[in-house]
Structure 1
């Protein structure tokens, strides 16, 4: 199965936002996000990438179809919910590149695409002069009734990439869970690593 990885900026990024919206809605319905998405909501949420000249979408394509994508932009251009917990701990947004969503059709998992998503976004951030990368991971109760029995968290993968949790730095962001009518805030753990050294060798 041949998958092409493309780093998209500028007009190419803007032209991909509709496809990204549909992919987010599909993939994020699964655990742990349980996201009851809509195209109207997605249009507003993703619009900030169109405004950011330094944003990037790393797309995975099977033929002409977008089957996976990972996004990123300077933290200074991100929503206040993502910036404020870091600023409160003394972190300077001017130094930090925010790695936002990463979504991949389940059919294409286990092919190394997740590593490429990190490789390409980190390389983009380094070219722009950023020295630190961060991302957020949703926190769900271990006994949540919708948690799949076979679910394996991605903590080990992220640690192999050189990321670690920022203790006590939690982002809170609202969305509608599947089956709910109203948004509720979800806690999200912040992870980070320095971009001034290469990630650990894959093994």
Structure 2
């Protein structure tokens, strides 16, 4: 396996593969995302137009098995920046960690730590003061929640991230068991750099 850091043209060239990986991984709990390439292109455009965006790509041979993205919060989807309205935080000083997607058989090998460390180092190098990400909020009794699901909260807390009370983005997508798109709450987590 190898991990590559992608920016600029290399990142743009990888976006279709990242889109396919996102759709595969996010079909599972807790996202339950029924994605389309059209939706993916619309969402991932932020990484194509931002000159300060980054992706970490994990390859097994030539096969993309994991990816993690990031961009300045002010250059990402407006839904995320809007979550910070009315807070004391300056979105111009915050770097946003987008998705971290990894096929199941590659989990538990330290790649998640590499994803966070690389994006944190990158954001620090660009002069950002804070770094954040979001996680979808689902009801604890959701019928599609697997009985063996383990939340990632302890992993994120160990890395120094805390939930930001009341700082919740709304993002719309179609769930695998639904007929239409609905808005989902995405809880923001943040730490200092």
Contact 2:43–2:77 (Cα < 8 Å) also in 1: no
Match for residue 135 of structure 1 among 133, 136, 142: 133
User: Structure 2 regions of 5+ residues with no counterpart?
Assistant: none
Instruction: Give the Cα–Cα distance (whole angstroms) in 1 for the partners of residues 42 and 74 of structure 2.
Output: 18
Instruction: Give the Cα–Cα distance (whole angstroms) in 2 for the partners of residues 145 and 72 of structure 1.
Output: 31
Q: Could you list the structure 1 runs, at least 4 aligned residues long, displaced by more than 6 angstroms after superposition.
A: none
User: Structure 1 regions of 5+ residues with no counterpart?
Assistant: 196-203
Give the C-alpha shift of residue 181 in structure 1: 2.1
Match for residue 5 of structure 1 among 3, 9, 13: 3
TM-score (ref. length: structure 2): 0.98
Give the C-alpha shift of residue 66 in structure 1: 0.8
Q: What CA RMSD, in Å, does the superposition of the two structures yield over aligned residues?
A: 0.8
Instruction: Identify the residue that residue 163 of structure 1 maps to in structure 2.
Output: 161
Instruction: Give the Cα–Cα distance (whole angstroms) in 1 for the partners of residues 84 and 146 of structure 2.
Output: 31
Contact 1:27–1:103 (Cα < 8 Å) also in 2: yes
Match for residue 56 of structure 2 among 55, 58, 68: 58
Instruction: Identify the residue that residue 41 of structure 2 maps to in structure 1.
Output: 43
Match for residue 16 of structure 1 among 4, 14, 17: 14
Contact 1:87–1:93 (Cα < 8 Å) also in 2: no
Instruction: Identify the residue that residue 178 of structure 2 maps to in structure 1.
Output: 180
Instruction: Identify the residue that residue 88 of structure 2 maps to in structure 1.
Output: 90
SS of alignment partner, residue 191 of structure 1: strand
Instruction: Give the Cα–Cα distance (whole angstroms) in 2 for the partners of residues 13 and 37 of structure 1.
Output: 20
Instruction: Identify the residue that residue 111 of structure 2 maps to in structure 1.
Output: 113
**Aligned residue pair count:** 193
Instruction: Give the Cα–Cα distance (whole angstroms) in 2 for the partners of residues 87 and 97 of structure 1.
Output: 16
Instruction: Identify the residue that residue 145 of structure 2 maps to in structure 1.
Output: 147
Instruction: Give the Cα–Cα distance (whole angstroms) in 2 for the partners of residues 21 and 88 of structure 1.
Output: 32
Give the C-alpha shift of residue 6 in structure 1: 1.1
TM-score (ref. length: structure 1): 0.93
